[in-house]
Amino acid sequence: VSRAQQQENRRQRPKAPPAGFAKIHVDAGVLRDRGGAAAAICRDSNGHYLGSSTLVIEGVVDPAALEAIACREGIALAQDLNVQDFVIACDSKQVVSDIMNGSRGRFGSEINIKLAQLHCNLIFESRAANYEAHALAKFSRRLQQGRHVWFDQPHDQNCIPLSVEFE
């Protein structure tokens, strides 16, 4: 069995958001001794691609901090896309718990305030269903520091298809 087939077998279809809600998957990755990247991918309730973004940050190498930053990047992407009702799915149970309990420091406080102002839910969803955001975070290691945004078309349709089926 090839590595690509093994990865495909480990993937799960992401859970569908409530009707009328968009779904934003977020993930982060550490960029060896450089810093990290936070990634977000937004799809409508039918699984159609709306946009994606990454934030490449030098000096931040703590995975939990980067996951919290990825949640904040998901909110920023929703605002860029003018999406009002959305669910953010993060593959770090601890970060989701910390943010929801207000214990993720400055990032958690900021995210909690934004969640309260918006019609948004933050949920945990396993890495197996979060493969696109993981792939985007990994791809971002090649990008320059700063924010990168793709509207209508992802950076690579082999990595992020225009449409997916939700569970």
Which tens digits make up the pLDDT trace of 30-67?
877 788 999 999 999 999 999 999 999 998 888 888 99
Give the confidence band of 13 by pLDDT, cuts at 50, 70, 90. Answer: confident
> 3-state DSSP call for residue 58?
strand
Collect all residues with Cβ–Cβ distance below 8 Å to 165 and sequence separation of at least 6.
Answer: 13, 47
The pLDDT tens digits of the residues spanning 104-125 come to: 565 666 777 777 778 888 999 9
Q: What is the pLDDT of residue 145?
A: 93
